[in-house]
Amino acid sequence: MANITLPRAALILGAFLLAAVPLIAPTFYVQLGAKIMIMAIFALSLDLLVGHTGLVSLGHSAYFGLAAYVLALISPKYEAASLWATLPVAIAAAAVAALVIGFLVVRTAGVYFIMVTLAFAQMLYSVFHDTKLGGGSDGIYISVRPELTVAGTKPLDLENPVQFYYFVLLVMIGVYGLLSQILHAPLGRVLAGIKANESRMRSIGYPVFAYKLGAFVLAGGLAGLAGYLAACQFGFVNPEILAWHQSGTVLMMVILGGMGKLHGAVLGAFAYVLLQELLSAPALLGAYAKHWQLAMGSLIVFIVLILPNGLAGCFERAGRWHQRKDMKRAREDIE
């Protein structure tokens, strides 16, 4: 039981600690926390593909960036857009793009799948980079964040960093809960079976293509949700958020945290962004801070070598240790 309850206890404790951040931390750390949680949502969406379905995508940033651009393009220039109107449209645009792209790429496998997803992402990148649709390489600004209104009142002000932080926290918890329910349902077991042995699942009658496409679309929609929140926070989008290195960054978060574990995706996002902030801080590392990418790469390789199951593997080790300890105590009581 310890192996099951320890991660849950840690997650509950982590949620309470995150909820306390705005109460004790200055605005900079509140905004940094919101940024990390947005990336955690992005990582959760990719983990559904990589860790639970066995589809390694290098084009996941396409849906993240597309939703961000949709918000920027449909928002009034000097007025606040409606959250009720823009959020569903942005997520739907990302999901539809994932449906169209997934219908073509899910038929491939292995390195071909990786390269085709990368190719489609680069195509979208070129659309926004080489045309004036989204301001070209300069990007486009969102002057006013969307507003949430209920019966003429504003229960949530996204311009307020603390309220935005709590909104993102609730969304992250909601996404985590949704994926947890899906992966513990029959659908999740089918995806696990496809990852383990796709040919066998097909031979016993499962429509493998439909399941993989469904997972691809859901992951794309959730990535769009993260992109929408990122556009809200920074008030600016440019083509770089669709580039291949953005997909590579979120993939590193998933690997760092531990593939196939939802809490691993969250841990990986927190670890990656915090390490980036630490290693790129001139106040701490002086002139060496400009070489943060070299230090980051070396550190990630080291962590992966000593923790092949990612940071989430620490929970499993601790759980097994507690289980062995409980069994030893039980034997001693019997004797």
For 113-165, how does the pLDDT look when each residue is reduced to its tens digit (9 = 90+)? 999 999 999 999 999 998 888 888 889 999 888 998 887 788 888 999 999 99
Query: Which tokens in the block code for residue 7?
Result: 């991660």
pLDDT at 211: 95
Q: Count of domains in the chain?
A: 1
DSSP string, 78-98: SSPPBHHHHHHHHHHHHHHHH
- Give CA–CA dist 39/34, Å, rounded: 9
Global pTM reads: 0.91
pLDDT at 300: 85
Per DSSP, the three-state class of 133 is coil
Cα 266 to its chain centre, rounded Å, is 8
Q: Domain residues for 57?
A: 2-334
pLDDT at 335: 57
Q: For residue 194, give the CATH number of its domain.
A: 1.10.3470
- Give CA–CA dist 174/40, Å, rounded: 12
pLDDT at 3: 46
pLDDT at 153: 82
pLDDT at 236: 92
Q: Which residues does the chain have with pLDDT short of 70?
A: 1-7, 315-335
